[in-house]
Amino acid sequence: MLYFSTNKNAVPVDFKRATITGLAPDKGLYFPETIPLLSSDFFKQLKNKTKEQIAYEIISPYVGNSIPPEDLFNICKTTVDFNFPLKKINENIYSLELYHGPTLAFKDVGARFMSKCLSHFSQNNDKKITILVATSGDTGSAVANGFFNSLGVDVVILYPSGKVSKIQELQLTTLGKNITALEIQGTFDDCQHMVKQAFADEDLNQSMTLTSANSINIARWLSQQFYYFYALQQWPHKEPPVVSVPSGNFGNICAGLLAYFSGANIKHFIAACNTNDVFSNYIANKTFNPKPSVSTISNAMDVGNPSNFIRLLELFSHNHKHIKELISNCCISDALTSETIMEVYEKYNYILEPHGAVAYRGLQNYIEQNPNQKGFILETAHPIKFDEVVQKIIKKNIELPPSFQYLLQLKKNSVVLKAEFNELKSFLLEKAATP
């Protein structure tokens, strides 16, 4: 399997090179030259397969010869060694809970898979790899956990000051060792822009080996397909589901679409967005116009220029009509998000976090317009990660899982920087010069 750049001005590379470099030399995102079609036998036997078997069979064609089969199977086994339950909320809507991993967020899958791949690639490599990642919350904590104490890998995380939850901030600022947290006085879009500038900077690339752990990285993105198949493995109905995906940077829904084009029996997708509505504008008038992000209570989706949008276009060969046929969109306000959290809690005794609530409302609206449909949402984080928001709405304390109680005793350790690339560049050059 080779990967081409979405900017179409770089030589195709294999999985190893695409994972290590993150971005293509022409600053495009890597995209597979072909999307493997899973066999009919795979789907016939799906309900009897283990999680690691499913992950291995899905990812093998994408990895090719870059990792020996036995090593790749072990990477898959380590990546998915926690539960992905599909829970019924009501007669028509289920929740795929993706928060049972080590940092209580869906990004544990991609971060763990990528960290194990990079650790494999860095064996017998004298030059250290520096992971540079922008986060709106959960990516940072998942990446920090996935790469913590990894030999030959340093991690530098940029996050917007005051725009992540307390638990998220503690998870990404308290590890130390090979993990450095940069608290940026700006928005997530500022963080993401600074990271992209770093990858384009010649001085930095001569001084250090940079790669990204955002969903722009092929290893992070491709592995997110796994849990769509775990949902289908548990789906109790004959009719295929409608899937509502909380969408900010669009990596997660693009992974679901990869699963669909590989043969996954999914009827329809909903790109569930908050008031950052660039996708709805594209659906309405065929033009993609990035704009400054707006802060919401579903902060991980506060993205005004989603990086993975170009991958969505590639999946459909830039055919707007086909995109509109398979994907619906919705834009859910904070008021409606709060109302949904309260309504679902009161009616079904189920606690949604804000991103899952956006997806739930999107799916509920779709079912009201398309009766007799059933589907599931992606509940992407544990409600405790947004406790200040959720507890205020449902008027009930949410207990921190016992394994995370220790976080509250730790002290935040971050480096505060202005939202200016030169400050980031100076910091990284100084870090590269330090033995």
CA dist., res. 136 & res. 142, Å (int): 12
150 pLDDT tier (thresholds 50, 70, 90): confident
Interval 315-332 mean pLDDT = 96
Report how far apart, in Å, the C-alpha atoms of 63 and of each of 67, 72, 116, 387 are: 7, 9, 13, 39
CA dist., res. 293 & res. 332, Å (int): 15
Host H or E run for residue 183: strand 179-185
Interval 183-211 mean pLDDT = 91
Give, as one character, the DSSP assignment of residue 68: -
Tokens 């919705």 label which residue?
Answer: 330
Number of other CB atoms surrounding residue 342 within 10 Å: 16
CA dist., res. 171 & res. 385, Å (int): 10
CA angle 253, 256, 261 (to 5 degrees): 125
Interval 379-391 mean pLDDT = 92
168 pLDDT tier (thresholds 50, 70, 90): confident
Among the residue ranges 67-71, 95-99, 125-129, 139-143, the one predicted with the least confidence is 125-129
312 pLDDT tier (thresholds 50, 70, 90): very high
CA dist., res. 54 & res. 59, Å (int): 9
Tokens 């870059």 label which residue?
Answer: 66
CA 150 to chain centre: 21
Indicate the pTM of the whole model: 0.89
109 pLDDT tier (thresholds 50, 70, 90): very high
- The number of residues making up the chain comes to 435
Tokens 């990967």 label which residue?
Answer: 3
Pair 1, 22: CB distance under 8 Å: no
Interval 73-97 mean pLDDT = 97
Closest by CA position to 341, among listed 400, 386, 373: 386
Tokens 């991690």 label which residue?
Answer: 155
Strands 153-160 and 327-331: unpaired
Report how far apart, in Å, the C-alpha atoms of 269 and of each of 91, 305, 328, 397 are: 19, 20, 6, 33
Interval 78-98 mean pLDDT = 97
CA angle 18, 303, 21 (to 5 degrees): 15
Residue 205 has pLDDT above 80, yes or no: yes
Closest by CA position to 294, among listed 387, 429, 163: 163
CA dist., res. 227 & res. 51, Å (int): 9
Helix or strand or coil: residue 43? helix
Residue 346 has pLDDT above 80, yes or no: yes
Closest by CA position to 388, among listed 400, 379, 377, 380: 400
Within 8 A by CB and 6+ apart from 17, the residues are none
DSSP track, 245-263: EE-SSSHHHHHHHHHHHTT
What does the pLDDT read at residue 139? 80
Pair 55, 222: CB distance under 8 Å: no
- Say which residue, 44 or 192, is predicted with more confidence: 44
Number of other CB atoms surrounding residue 140 within 10 Å: 32
Interval 253-271 mean pLDDT = 98
CA angle 396, 402, 403 (to 5 degrees): 135
CA dist., res. 104 & res. 117, Å (int): 21
Residue 88 has pLDDT above 80, yes or no: yes
Two structure tokens written together for 6: 């979405």
All domains of the chain in start order, with CATH: 83-105+221-394 (3.40.50.1100)
Q: Is 427 buried (19+), middle (13-18) or exposed (0-12) by CB count in 10 A? A: middle
Which residue type is seen at 319? N
Helix or strand or coil: residue 123? coil
